[in-house]
């Protein structure tokens, strides 16, 4: 909820916001996000990439991606 408030997404509940994210990037619709789905989904969605970039320090995730 705090991340949403920082980014101006206060018109949605945390659950609604999470559902929107899953609808955008859970490609196999199993209700779970693998790291691969998350990365691919965020890369393909400009708005989501901007939101994530502004909201999180992803340096540790990038290290995992780079190390394979």
* pLDDT value, residue 3: 59
Top-confidence residue, 6 or 13: 13
Residue pointed to by tokens 């999470």 = 18
Domain-located, residue 21: no
pTM of this prediction exceeds 0.75: no
* Number of folded domains that form the chain: 1
Q: Is residue 44 in some structural domain?
A: yes
The answer to whether residue 39 is domain-embedded is yes
pLDDT digits (tens, 9 = 90+) for 17-46: 788 888 888 988 898 988 888 888 888 988
> CA 12 to CA 65: how far, in whole Å?
31
**CB crowding 4-25: b at 16 or more within 10 Å, else e:** beeeebeeeeeeebeeebbeeb
Instruction: Let me know if residue 43 belongs to a domain.
Output: yes
Residue, of 36 and 14, whose pLDDT is higher: 36
Q: Whole domain around residue 40: which residue ranges?
A: 32-67
Which residue's structure tokens are 């990038």?
62
Query: Does 53 map to a domain?
Result: yes
């Amino acid at each position: 909820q705090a991340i949403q408030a920082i980014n101006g997404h206060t018109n949605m509940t945390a659950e609604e916001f999470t559902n929107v994210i899953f609808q955008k990037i859970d490609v196999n619709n199993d209700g779970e996000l693998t790291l691969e789905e998350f990365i691919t989904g965020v890369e393909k969605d400009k708005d989501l990439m901007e939101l994530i970039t502004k909201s999180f320090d992803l340096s540790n995730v990038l290290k995992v991606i780079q190390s394979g």
